[in-house]
Chains A and B, each alone.
Chain A
Amino acid sequence: MKLVPAAAACAALLISTTGCSLTESNDPQASGSAGDGTITVDSTADACDLTTTKAPSGNLVFDVKNSGDQVTEFYFYAEDGLRIVGEIENVGPGLSRDLVVRAAPGSYVASCRPGMTGKGIRTDFTVTDSGEDTTITGVEQADIDAATTQYAAYVKDQSSQLVDETTAFVTAYAAGQDERARELYPQARTYWERIETVAESFGDLDPKMDLREADLTPGQEWTGWHRIEKDLWPPASGYTALGEADREKYGQDLLANTKTLDSRVQDLDYTVDQIGNGSKGLLDEVASGKITGEEDIWSHTDLYDFQANVDGARVAYEGLKPLLDVKDPALSQKIQSAFRDLQTSLDQYRRGKDDFVSYDTVTEPQRKELSDRVNALAEPLSKLTGAITL
């Protein structure tokens, strides 16, 4: 699961201004009968027709249909016509897409923007009081800023430790200190795995650094972590060990790419939906690579990577927790306890503080238990982004 480009209901630039709908609660208890009727929006070259311009407060569903022949967008603004409550982008001609927003009683402005330019075709929209408890407990902009700032700092910190640890690892490897290199391999990779979804978003670096042998294209040179892994834990037969020059070459190549990665993450900004998707994405990494034992097929150090993915996912979630606690406290509770359960399962395989048993000693029923725990966590976690950006 790669880091998905920021484009959820609230795009990057919006979050940095007023936080769009993020600052409004979507506590599920507050919704209900109010959101039942879908409002159809017909966007054409010169019109933006809504089936109604009045709706009761709560969750509003706009079914935006593009009847024009240009790409269109739909915005739902607050009364000032500036603050975006919700938006839908990139609707191709003939297509429909749903926008769900949470709106308190008041005046709003709906706008279609055929061709994605200009102020759009605007219509006043009134949200009446549905009579339910519509008290909106808002998310503080400060919480949003804190979440994005903290996450950026976390990635930079991990990346910088990755450079240090990788340096130690490739140095030991080049010097022929195999025992030491084998110890350092899973430890150093921890820093990679914690920020794996970010690292993978650099499509040119990832295949050079973390490609598994099975994923090679014919003719493609195999470099990076797993190339060295195989040399340190060689198969019993049919393998020719790398010589001194090759050790130096593959080690330096990995280190150079690591430094490039580190320099690139210095300038990265994150949106809350990227952080949310990244958290879930790390669990996908666990599900698809680590639980199956395919990640570290030679060293069997998969549990280190597993733990590091979970660490990264938890950090991302914890950064967003203040937002989710407001938006959907029940979901937040569920995620939190699922993290705890997964950690308890994982801890059974610890050997000392920082080490794990070799994954080839973990039996199939034990792997299934881990897999079930991952599913139990990843399912609610997959709802995180939708919940905080609604």
Chain B
Amino acid sequence: MTEPASETPTSPSGVSRRRLLGAAGAGALAVGAAGVGGYAVGHAAEDPGKPGQSSYAFGGRHQAGIVTPAQDRLHFAAFDVTSESRDDLILLLRAWTAAARAMTSGRPVGEGVPTSYDAPPDDTGEALDLDASGLTLTFGFGPTLFERDGKPRFGLDGKQPAALRELPHFPADKLDPARSNGDLCVQACAHDPQVAVHAIRNLSRIAFGTAAMRWAQLGFGRTSSTSTAQATPRNLFGFKDGTANLKSQDREGVEEFVWVGEGDDPRADWLAGGTYLVARRINMQIETWDRSSLREQESLVGRDREQGAPLSGGTEFTEPDFDLQGREGPLIGLDSHVRLAHPTQNKGVKMLRRGYNFTDGSNALGRLDAGLFFVAFVRDPDVHYIPMQTRLSAQDGLMEYLQHTGSGLWAVPPGVRRSTGFVGDTLFT
């Protein structure tokens, strides 16, 4: 994996986009394949790999960026398809696939093929000195890609998965249409924020004329660990988040709760090996939270702040004991987040969460516009997400400090399996 760099400073992978560009040509691309892609290809996307790994294969049985150990940064974007032509849409998906293959290997869009001095460069350039930085690009299809205003689109009638519908209105939702839904979504995750932003920027540019960005969200710090090798990070409430998250090492759990199986939905066999992506932009009332006592904070969360241990005792990974009684009822309160969200309280349902802390500056009242950009991958939102969120929105004591301001659901097709394939090809054949 490590090839010492001589001319330019490079990252641990030893491959930089500038070097590729400088050497411009097949030789350089070969270095890329051997140095970075080679490893990744050998370990297709279903092998989640190590945290901090410098590149992940784009192709594979499943898309990357799901069981991949959560990278530190996110740039998420939703797009609406502006063309009504099926061919345009397929061309876009092919172009996105080519660009995604390049960028996730640390190569520039256009593979560094020289263009006229009088033409704008194919790649926007801001990631030229950076390696792949663990970039993954995960694509999803929203309900409106299949049908809009009661009319099927792109010849996809009869193919819309039954569970792919706009999420219901949950209690206390305050959704901004300008931060919700979309025909397509792309989740870009990387160790370096510039790499993630570069990816979305270039994909957006490629899409002009066929699809337009509807909204986007930056996440500056992961709030979930999807690998047992990762420490549990903290959310902006200051608490460890997602301790009970489904981890990639739990292969049975991942099969059961993440990947759509053959025959799950007779209308949507194309989605087998894929999953559903739920996104929720959850604003936190930072200022009032910060003024609440540690007693209130811990009792609302149901864990201690320092260690993340459940209030029933033990350490972070000790199973909560929801029956253990204290002076005034159970130590883990009835309206505590950990109780309401825990698999044992939700018919054993687990989710693979992959959320990020975000802040988008401040609002008109001078408060931080900040919170959690919740991302979860589930096999069936009707079973694995909606019932739990309905309960949380109605009963979770933390809701006092939360406001859901954005929302979306997308079907995430399986990974691209053939070198000539493109993202979503199982849907369009």
Interface residues of A (CB under 8 A from B): 1-2, 4-5, 7-8, 11, 66, 69, 71, 73, 89-90, 92-97, 116, 214-218, 220, 277, 280, 284, 287-288, 291-292, 364, 367-368, 371-372, 375, 378-379, 381-382, 385-386
Contacts and interface: CB of A to CB of B under 8 A. Distances in A.
A90 B311 contact: yes
Given A95-B309, A215-B172, A378 B291 contact: yes
Contacts of B295: 4, 7-8
Given A214-B174, A385-B293, A287 B288 contact: yes
A5 B366 contact: no
A277 B297 CA distance: 13
B309 A94 contact: yes
Interface in B303-330: 304, 306-307, 309-315, 318, 324-328
A383 B345 CA distance: 35
Given A371-B366, A382-B291, A386-B293, A90 B327 contact: yes
Nearest to A90: B326
Contact of A368 (B174, B292, B306, B364): B364
A260 B76 CA distance: 49
A368 B295 CA distance: 30
B285 A288 contact: yes
Nearest to A291: B365
15 contacts: A66-B313, A71-B325, A71-B326, A90-B331, A92-B313, A92-B331, A93-B314, A95-B313, A218-B169, A277-B296, A287-B288, A367-B365, A372-B366, A381-B291, A386-B293
A215 B327 contact: no
Tell me whether chain B's interface is mostly helix, strand or loop, or mixed: loop
A97 B170 CA distance: 36
B26 interface: no
B197 to A, nearest CB: 30
A367 B364 contact: yes
A379 B291 CA distance: 6
Contacts of B288: 1, 284, 287-288, 378
Interface string B391-405: 001100100100000
Contacts of A379: 291
A244 to B, nearest CB: 30
A331 to B, nearest CB: 14
Nearest to B366: A368
Given A92-B314, A94-B318, A277-B293, A218 B168 contact: yes
Contacts of A375: 287
Given A220-B171, A386-B293, 20 more contacts: A7-B328, A71-B325, A71-B326, A71-B331, A90-B311, A90-B326, A94-B309, A95-B309, A95-B314, A214-B172, A214-B174, A216-B171, A217-B170, A217-B393, A217-B394, A287-B287, A287-B288, A364-B364, A367-B364, A375-B287
A214 to B, nearest CB: 6
A126 to B, nearest CB: 29
Contacts of B365: 291-292, 367-368, 371
Nearest to A11: B327
A217 B168 CA distance: 10
B43 interface: no
B367 interface: yes
Contacts of A382: 291-293
A138 to B, nearest CB: 24
A94 B314 contact: yes
A280 B314 contact: no
A216 B390 CA distance: 11
A386 B393 CA distance: 30
B166 interface: no
Contacts of A93: 312-314
B145 to A, nearest CB: 25
Nearest to A370: B365
Of B173, B310, B312, B325, most buried by chain A (CB within 10 Å of CB) is B312
